[in-house]
Structure 1
Amino acid sequence: MKKFLVVVLAIIVINEWRDIRNLFSPPPDFAAAHEERVVMYATQWCPFCQKARELFAEKGISYYEYDIEKSEEGNTQYQRLGASGVPILLINGEVLKGFNRSTVLALINEK
């Protein structure tokens, strides 16, 4: 029975980790400086950045893009968000590292 409870607790923590993490260490609100609900930190050569651009165009989602190789401000923000690759997306105050179509759409549809 104890193992079962540990597994259930682990599943709950994993599913809610984003909310738990943001409660104790909220990401900087760089998106507040833009009218768009989505901010993307990207490069021109990144195939996943291109997939994000295509999704935004397909769904009519307005976004602000920083090319981290050309924008000093964008690169600074990118570093403060825990840079580990591109794209990094800010969606409704959430930080998403990498591109996952279903996660992006879920975050956009939250608000």
Structure 2
Amino acid sequence: MWEAFGIENEDILWSCIAFNGGIAGHQTAPCGAVSAATVCTGLLHRWPLADKKRANQERLEARQDASQLVRSFLEKFGNITCSGLVNLDFSQPAVYRQFQESGIWKDKCNKYVEFVIEKLYEFHDKRSARRPPLKVLLYTKPGCPFCAQARLDLEERGVSYEEITIDGNPEALKEVMKLSNGEGIVPILVMGEDVKVGFGGG
């Protein structure tokens, strides 16, 4: 899922790394594919917390999507726990080794992963269709190396943005002074209600 969604932050991968065999082999826990998918559901709905009203709405919708994911998984496979899905007892190390070596997981577990990824794409497409595009502004000034880094970062991530230079632009300078608490620091990145002052030491 981490690869499918192109999430560059490796912390996300590591936060879900123990979701195998339930949770680290404790099979009474949900299937690891479902657990990891619910984490991704939250990520699909992330919104700057400064925008409390919208963040609360996104939190509610994330829970609704996660609930729908679980219901759909149960309807498709008849169970949600690892033990119920593979019918093997992983509390015995030899059984887990046999499971890995047999290749059964390629037939069983891969189907579960593929199913939840398809559901996540459905949620993503549904959300994209109704979510207004997030307005992104980047305040810069000529010759600023940190501004160049911020610009490159946005472009590498495929983020559409409007660049506003403060050079010869009194209104933009006034806004930068306001956003940076009078310090006049650039770059400043504004994504909806979220404001980030400086970039990489700028």
User: TM-score normalized by structure 2?
Assistant: 0.31
Aligned counterpart in structure 2 of residue 70 of structure 1, from 157, 168, 181: 168
Would you identify which runs of 4 or more consecutive aligned residues in structure 1 move more than 3 Å? none
Identity between Structure 1 and Structure 2 (%)? 33
Q: Give the 3 Å change call, closer, same or farther, for CA 92–79 of structure 1 in structure 2.
A: same
One-letter code of the match for 1:69?
Answer: D
Aligned counterpart in structure 2 of residue 40 of structure 1, from 135, 138, 143: 138
Aligned counterpart in structure 1 of residue 187 of structure 2, from 68, 87, 103: 87
Deviation of 1:37 (Å): 2.2
CA distance in 2, matches of 1:61, 1:37: 10
The answer on whether the counterparts of 2:176 and 2:186 sit within 8 Å (CA) in structure 1 is: no
Give structure 2 stretches of 5+ with no counterpart: 1-47, 52-132
The aligned residue for residue 54 of structure 1 is 152
Deviation of 1:95 (Å): 1.4
Deviation of 1:70 (Å): 2.3
CA distance in 2, matches of 1:77, 1:98: 15
3-state SS of 2:174 partner: helix
The answer on whether the counterparts of 1:36 and 1:63 sit within 8 Å (CA) in structure 2 is: no
Richer in strand (by share): 1
Q: C-alpha offsets along residues 10-37 of structure 1, whole Å, 9 cap, x if unaligned? A: xxxxxxxx95xx58xxxxxxxxxxx762
Deviation of 1:56 (Å): 1.5
What's the RMSD between the two structures over aligned residues? Answer: 2.4
CA distance in 2, matches of 1:99, 1:51: 7
Structure possessing the higher radius of gyration over alpha carbons:
2
Give structure 1 stretches of 5+ with no counterpart: 1-17, 24-34, 101-111
CA distance in 2, matches of 1:59, 1:91: 14
